[in-house]
Structure 1
Amino acid sequence: MLFTLGRWAPFMIVLFALGIELSPAHAVVTGPILAATPALASLTMGPKGILSAAAGACAVTLITAGLHQSWGGQVYSNLLSLLMVSVASVIVSNAMRTRRQIELDQVRRIAEAAQRVLLRGVPARLGPVRMASMYLAAETGAQIGGDLYEATQTRYGVRMIVGDVRGKGLPAVRLAAAVLGAFREAAHYEADLVEVVNHCAAAIERECAMPTAAGQGAEEDQTEGFVTAVVAEVNDSFEVQVVNRGHPPPLMVRHGKVEALTSTTELPPLGLEEFMTVAPPLAERFPFAPGDRLLLHTDGVIEARSPDNDFFALPEAMEAVHPCTPSEFLDRLHRGLVRHTGGYLADDAAMLLVERLDGEDGLPRS
């Protein structure tokens, strides 16, 4: 609101000066006020806005000079002042825009580096599976946000996680980093998949308990610091183990049909263990035969809305994709998502696609 008023302020001053000149109070000198309009416009507008404000001020000066027959040194002085201030404002505005662009480019490079550390691209092949990943940030110019994913080869099998941090911005990135760090460590030495998830929950608790930059406790963050996540494991058996903590269920593509792997027990998100009404059950097992594909995704995909306010029909979109590689599969889903939303995402979106290979090609040889 204040920014919008600031953009219109130079033109409001021009109209105000014109009103004075057309009123009985036209003896009031408005030249100094009009001379300031280009400088004021440079605070919120580019060269075109500055020149537009200067043209308006110049027009008022010329109109009133002709109307009151007040041609003289004062008028020419006002016009010269407008010219000098306009030129200086354009030069300063261009310099500031160049500086902001340099700073923005630097921030983007830092964001890209952070993305490579936080959200590393998954390998095209891990053990008995082929896979691909995709991350779409909702914020304009952003590279990372509150969604997370990871896949790693361990002695227990291929383990993967997809999660969604409540909230956006740097606090969400901080929690995402804590969860991913805990997963990357625990996935290699915890035989039980549930214990891997418990380590991720403990990391959130530690992160939320840390003091803020201002030196105050994060009691407010403890009510908001939670992450919905689904953790899965694929090993030598033709099964997939799944632990779902308040996250949208994975979708299985089998023979061209999509099925949701819905958990029998609803568990709260990570970080909300106080709402756990039952003891954490064992990881649930689902058939995962050669040729099957498993899509782990965040709610930014299924809750993406069209201009008509319709949700994105992800299962139907998956069934419409013809046989292709995992990366091509996600690319086609991405294009369908962009068409559905008109190019605007209201929330971050992450997808991880896993394809089970057959026994001969997919299982390690002794």
Structure 2
Amino acid sequence: MQCVPFLIALAVLVLELTPAHFIYTGPFLTAVPALAAVTLGPGGTTAAAALALVISGVTATYNEAWGTLQVYSNFLALSLVSVAGFITSRAMQERRQRELDQVRRIAVAAQDVVLRPVPERLGPLRAASLSLAAGTGAQVGGDLYDAVQTRFGIRMIVGDVRGKGLSAVRAVAVALGAFREAVHYEEDLVEVMNRCSAALRREVAVPGAYGQDVLLEGFVTALITQVPDEPVVQLVNRGHPAPLLLHGGRAAPLTPSLPAPPLGLEDLVSGLPEKPESYSFVAGDRLLLYTDGVIEARNRTGEFFALPAAVEAIGGAAAPEQFLEEIHQALINHTGGELADDVAMILADRFGRAEHVL
């Protein structure tokens, strides 16, 4: 539809420069900016109007029609329609933007009801969280995160529902609801993940519960961690980007030894992890959990965001909130100010026993 005004202008030019120039094309040319106002924005309308005026001048010169009342009437009509088309297009653009902003605010409010900032202090951890919405579109994504203090240790989750919109938000609510319940009575961390998977399978099985944007992709990546009193962190990773551990100034991914499929794709493999994997997590270390919107952020040349380098550059001196804000600024600088996908992050600092007591 967007190319129709320009095709009409081209057709008029061809008619006027051929023996068929006896056909009166004025009304067709006047329709060019009018159609552009409906299908294009103010910029496209201006370009279409300018093209129509140029073609009108070229054809008048070619047909030696300057000085006739018809030519000046065509120019006047074309100018009036162009101005009216530009004003209409500008008004339509502003109205669509207001509607888009309103829908976006409602969608983000629905997401904020489900997600909540993590507490600043959780047992042996100092923590912070950050959630960023993509800069385009009215649909929110399916990023999820939470951190809960339990009798088994500090348990955290970060995940990403494939798809966008309110259907994804509903899936986020289901996964987080299952996590928040299971973490308090399931000692086995793998079983906590299985509870989340089972809840999602039950929800997706409800007829009409989810739109095709979720059903077509049909899975959720998730990472659940547990930080007990011992200087370790235990992980269960189901297809999610590996968290980064900042130790001694170096950021290293805690990659699972056996890759596991995302939630919802269990039937595609013969075996799943039976126990969590443990890694050293001592006082002074930082653990960063994040969604793929961070590492898949691209700059104008198509380069991915180098998260490990950014983490190492910030280091361990900044407070958790400041650390995440600096990551945020680095992302904005890398992408030129606009994220293509939603982002969620949790940062957890491990401090010593004496500070823990205080």
More moved, 171-180 vs 337-346: 337-346
Matched residue type, 1:356:
R
3-state SS, counterpart of residue 21 of structure 2: coil
Distance of aligned partners of 1:155 and 1:11 in 2 relative to their CA distance in 1, 3 Å threshold: same
**CA-to-aligned-CA distance 1:293-325 (integer Å, 9 cap, x gap):** 111123343444556655544334322323111
CA contact (8 A) 2:141 2:163 kept: no
Q: 2:32 aligns with which of 27, 31, 37?
A: 37
State the Cα distance separating 1:180 from its structure 2 match: 1.7
Aligned: 1:350 with 2:357: no
1:318 to 311, 319, 323: 311
Shift of 1:239: 3.2
- Please, which of 114, 117, 128 is the counterpart of residue 118 of structure 1? 114
Indicate whether 1:273 and 2:266 are aligned: yes
Candidates 159, 167, 182, aligned match of 1:163:
159
Q: Kindly report the root-mean-square deviation, in angstroms, between the aligned alpha carbons of the 2 structures.
A: 3.3
Partner of 1:23: 18
SS of alignment partner, residue 68 of structure 1: coil
TM-score after normalising by structure 2: 0.83
The 3-state SS of whatever aligns with 1:130 is: strand
With over 3 angstroms needed to count, the CA separation of the structure-2 counterparts of 1:331 and 1:62, relative to structure 1, is closer
Partners of 2:301 and 2:51 in 1: CA distance: 41
Structure 1 counterpart of 2:323 = 329
Cα distance change, pair 184–35 in 1 and its aligned pair in 2 (3 A): same
Partner Cα distance (1:80, 1:307) in 2 = 43
User: 1:248-284 CA distances to partner (integer Å, 9 max, x unpaired)?
Assistant: 3322222323344344444332222324534652333
Take 2:322 and 2:186, find their aligned partners in 1: how far apart are those partners? 33
Look up the SS of the partner of 2:262 in the other structure. Answer: coil
Larger mean CA deviation between 60-69 and 22-31 belongs to 60-69
Counterpart check, 1:244 vs 2:237: yes
Contact 1:204 1:226 in 2 (8 A): no
Letter in 1 for 2:171: L
Gaps of 5+ in 1: none
Deviation at 1:354, TM superposition (A): 0.4
- 1:261 matched to 2:254? The reply is yes
Q: Distance in 2 between matches of 1:91 and 1:143?
A: 28
Residue of 81, 99, 108 corresponding to 1:103? 99
Measured after TM superposition, the shift of residue 39 of structure 1 is 0.8
| Alpha-carbon distance in structure 1 between the residues aligned to 2:298 and 2:85 | 43
- Matched-pair contact (CA < 8 Å) for 1:246–1:267: yes
Q: CA separation in 2, counterparts of 1:131 and 1:23?
A: 74
CA distance in structure 2 between the partners assigned to 1:115 and 1:213 by the alignment? 17
- The answer to whether the 8 Å contact 1:132/1:327 transfers is yes
Number of paired residues?
355
**Partner residue in 1 for 2:89:** 93
1:13 maps onto 2:8 in alignment: yes
Q: Is the 8 A contact 1:246 1:269 kept in 2?
A: yes
Among candidates 131, 135, 143, match of residue 135 of structure 1: 131
Equivalent-residue separation in structure 2 for 1:308 and 1:81 (angstroms): 45
Once the two structures are superposed, residues 22-68 of structure 1 have per-residue CA deviations (whole angstroms, 9 ceiling, x without a partner) of 33322211111122122111023344543443444345445545643
- The one-letter code matched in structure 2 to 1:16 is A
1:145-224 maps to which residues of 2 (within 5 A)? 145-169=141-165, 171-212=167-208, 221=215, 224=217
Deviation at 1:244, TM superposition (A): 1.9
Q: Percent identity?
A: 55
SS of the aligned residue for 1:291 comes to: coil
- 8 Å CA contact 1:148, 1:180 repeated in 2: yes
Change (3 A) 1:80 1:233: same
What amino acid is aligned across from residue 18 of structure 1 in structure 2? Answer: L
For 2:307, the aligned partner's letter is L
Contact 2:135-2:338 within 8 A present in 1 as well: no
* Counterparts of 1:338 and 1:91, CA distance in 2: 33
The equivalent residue for 2:140 is: 144
Q: 2: distance between equivalents of 1:14 and 1:248?
A: 51
Deviations 1:120-143 (A, max 9, x none): 222222232111223344562567
Asked if 1:285 corresponds to 2:278, the answer is yes
Contact 1:137 1:143 in 2 (8 A): no
Q: Distance in 1 between matches of 2:191 and 2:314?
A: 36
